[in-house]
Structure 1
Amino acid sequence: MELNTEFLTDEERRLTSEFFDKGYVIRDAEDRPGLDRIQTLVAGIAADHLGLDAPSDPGAFLNEIHTRVTGQTLNDLRLTVFNRMNQQEGFRRDYFSQARTVLGMLVGNEIAMQRRVNLSIQMPDDDSSILPVHADVLSGDSPYEVVQWTPMVDCYGTKAMYILPPKRNQEVQDSLKNYPDADALMEDIRDDLVWIEIAYGQVMVFNQNLLHGNVVNAEPETRWSMNCRYKGVFTPYADKRLGEFFEPITLRPASAIGIAYQLPGGFRDA
C-alpha cells in the first residue's frame, strides 16, 4: 500500500522516508530528565540487589556490572530489576516520553503500549543472552507493531544489536523456507546487516517485522537496554492482545465516547 504523504508535515515526511528506507530511526531522547530517572532507578535497584549503596555514577556502575555478578547470578539480577522497575509509579510514562513525538508520527496519536517494559543485560563474552536472528512478526506479533529500543549505556559494535535493511529483508523473507536453520540464514545475510551504534541519551524505534538480533558481546562493557512494543489501538492484534499484553495510553475523547456509546433501546427495531 502506497502511503499518502500529502497531509504530513515536512518533519513527518522526513521521518517517514527514513523509517521506510532504513527500517529504524534514532533520535535524541525527548525527555532527558526522565531518562536519567530511569537510569538512576535501574542502577539503584541493581545495587540494592547486590547489597551495595546506590552508585554516584549510574552509567559507569551499569557498564561495569560484570565485575560484580557472574553468568549464574545474572538472571536473578535481571528479574529483580525488571520486576521492580515496572512496579515503579511513573516508570512507563517516563519511558514513553523518550520517543513520544516519533511514535506519534510513526504509529499514530492513539497508541497501545506494552504493559511491561523489557530489560536486556548482556555481559562481555556471555553467550546466555543471545537472541539469534529473528523477526518478531514470525513468532506471533502483529505486523502493526514497532519497538522502542532505549539503551541505558552507550551501545556500539557487538554490544548493540543488528538489523537487516528492508529491501534485503524482503528478498530473504520471500525465500525463508529455503534456509535449514538460523545459522544458515545468518551466514547468508551477515554482510548485509546494519550494526546499530546508539549512545545513552538516544532512543531507537524500529520495524520488528525486519530480521534482527544480537551476538556475543565482545566489548569490555556490559550492555543494558530496554525495549517496548507499541501499536495503534485500533489496528489488528495477533497473539498479544489488548488488555492482556497491551494497554491504551493515548486514547482520545472521541474514541472513548464512541466505545462507550450505546444506542437507545429499540432505536433500530423495525
Structure 2
Amino acid sequence: MHKMDFLQPQEKELSLSFIQKGYIIQPTEDRAALDRIQSQIATLAATFLGKEPPQNPTDFLNNIANSIGIAQLNDLRLHVISGLMETDWFRKAYFSCARSLLETLVGNELVMQRNLGLSVQLPHDDSSLLPLHSDVWGSECSPFEVVLWIPLVDCYRTKSMFVLPASLDRQWRDRMHEFADKGTESLFEAIEPEVEWLKVPYGNVVVFTPTIMHGNRVNQEATTRWTLNIRFKGVFTPYSDKRLGEYFSPISVRPVSRIGMKFQLPGGFNE
C-alpha cells in the first residue's frame, strides 16, 4: 500500500528539517505585529522605571542594565507580563508572527498557552538561568507541544538559548542513566561540544519542540536578552497535566469540529 503524503513541497521541507533539528528559525510572518509587541514591552518597562516611552525600543531594551539592577529585575518582568496580559491585541499579534509555520508543523486547529514566558537576562547575571532540561522529562508537558520563542533584541552566543539538535538528543537520551547521580551540570558538560547556540536576529522567530534538551547560561554579552515564549499544540492531542481551559485556550477550532463536539444523537436509536 502506497504511503499517502499530500503535503506541499515546502511543507515537506520544513517538516523534515524540524524532525531532524527539533527547531525552525525563520523571519516573522508579521513584522508590524512584532514591532508593536516590542514597542509595547519597551513602554511597559519604561513606565516601571518612571521614564517616557523610548523612541528606539531596541536600544532601550538592549541597554536596560543601565537603569535597573538584579534586585528589581523580577518586579520589572512581572510588571511587563501583567501589562501584556491586559493588552487585548497581544495574543493575536503573537500568533500572527508565525501562524503559517505553526499550522504546517502542528496543525490548523490549535490551542495557545494562556500565560506567557518572558526572559530578561542582564549581562553577567546568574540569577536568571534556565539549566539544561527537556520539558517532557516531567509529567506536566506533552510531547505534542511546540514553543514559539521570539526575541525582542538580537540574540546570539550566550545572549541566546542553546539546544541539542533532535538527532543528537535521541542518542544522549539513551545514555541518561549514566548521569542519574551526577546532576544536569555534568550532563551539560558532556553534551556541550554538540549543543547549538541559536543565532536569532530581531525580526526572526523560533519554533522548537520541548522534547529536546535546551536551556541558557550566564549572558556574557554586553547587552540584555529579552525573549518571549508561548506554547501551542493541536486541540485534539494529549494534554498531560497542562489541560485545556486551565493552561491552554483554543484559538482556531474549525466549524466541523465545533459541530461534532456539540452533536447528540436523537433518542430512540440505542433503545
TM-score, with structure 1 as normaliser: 0.97
Specify the alignment match of 1:146 in structure 2: 146
Q: CA-to-partner distance for each residue in 1:51-97, whole Å, 9 max, x for gaps?
A: 00000001110000011110000000000001111110010000000
Aligned length: 266
Q: CA-to-partner distance for each residue in 1:96-120, whole Å, 9 max, x for gaps?
A: 0000000000000001110122111
Unaligned 5+ residue runs, structure 2?
none
Counterparts in 2 of 1:173-212, with a 5 A limit?
A: 173-179=173-179, 180-212=182-214
Specify the alignment match of 2:167 in structure 1: 167
1:123 aligns with 2:112: no
Counterparts in 2 of 1:81-92, with a 5 A limit?
A: 81-92=80-91
C-alpha separation in 2, matches of 1:222 and 1:39: 14
What is the CA-CA distance between 1:246 and the residue it aligns to? Answer: 0.4
C-alpha separation in 2, matches of 1:49 and 1:265: 60
C-alpha separation in 2, matches of 1:202 and 1:263: 48
Moved over 3 A (4+): none
Unaligned 5+ residue runs, structure 1?
none
C-alpha separation in 2, matches of 1:7 and 1:101: 17
Specify the alignment match of 1:156 in structure 2: 156
Aligned-partner SS, 1:121: strand
C-alpha separation in 1, matches of 2:155 and 2:240: 31
What is the CA-CA distance between 1:266 and the residue it aligns to? Answer: 3.2
TM-score, with structure 2 as normaliser: 0.96
C-alpha separation in 2, matches of 1:194 and 1:225: 18
**What one-letter code is carried by the residue in structure 1 that aligns with 2:214?**
H
C-alpha separation in 1, matches of 2:197 and 2:4: 29
Aligned-partner SS, 1:17: helix
| 8 Å contact kept, 1:162–1:213 | yes
Q: 1:160 to 1:5 in 2, by over 3 A?
A: farther
